[in-house]
Chain A
Amino acid sequence: DTGVSQDPRHKITKRGQNVTFRCDPISEHNRLYWYRQTLGQGPEFLTYFQNEAQLEKSRLLSDRFSAERPKGSFSTLEIQRTEQGDSAMYLCASSSSEGGPSYGYTFGSGTRLTVV
């Protein structure tokens, strides 16, 4: 297993455009998380899936943001009508409900979004 993969690594888009990011978690992991991180800050929770069900959403996730995890495998995060404030690193992480918190999350390397 190659860990958590995210695509693309970098995305530059014009304000008002829609963007979509993809995350492929570790195959044995049934939980998947999206976080957003701005420079010099810790990751901020956006949303969480267990298998294909989206169980939790942060109030940070405005109606311009939508996430899916069809079939409980890869996940996509879409941002519609991007704004400059959306510029950040978008991190995906996965974990197993079997392992418990002592195993932590495995993060991907992230997608850096720049809105110009």
Chain B
Amino acid sequence: GQSLEQPSEVTAVEGAIVQINCTYQTSGFYGLSWYQQHDGGAPTFLSYNGLDGLEETGRFSSFLSRSDSYGYLLLQELQMKDSASYFCAVRGDYGQNFVFGPGTRLSVLP
């Protein structure tokens, strides 16, 4: 099976940088994804790391270390609209589905 751990809440101020960590346990690893979900909204795909290292997409970056079973999402130049829940996800036992972590609620303060 798979299990993922994330901090439940993170708070930061506008303009700051915040890092959301994710540790995972899985029998077979096929990549780590990140999703953003605003209250009442649909999860939205942010990034995918299949190999070790940093992937950058605008203000968001995601990092993976397969040897440490660890990844993080880095959000720079925080904006109020970044207040949302962020989920990491790994491929599940079934192959094509993703197993999601419990989520980290990010609050951006003015």
Q: Which residues of A contact B (CB under 8 A)?
A: 4, 31, 33, 35, 40-45, 48, 50, 55-56, 58, 91, 93, 101-110
Binds A, one of B11-19, B40-48, B63-71: B40-48
Q: How many A-B residue pairs have CB under 8 A?
A: 66
Chain B: interface size category: 20 to 34
Q: Is the CB of A56 within 8 A of B48?
A: no
Which A residues are CB-close (under 8 A) to B44? 107
Indicate with 1 or 0, residue by residue over B61-92, a CB within 8 angstroms of chain A CB atoms.
Answer: 00000000000000000000000000101011
Verify B92–A45 contact, CB threshold 8 A: yes
Q: Do B30 and A101 have beta carbons less than 8 Å apart?
A: yes
Check A109–B41 contact: CB distance below 8 A.
yes
From known contacts A91-B43, A105-B45, A108-B42, infer whether A45 and B87 are also in contact, taking CB-CB under 8 Å: no
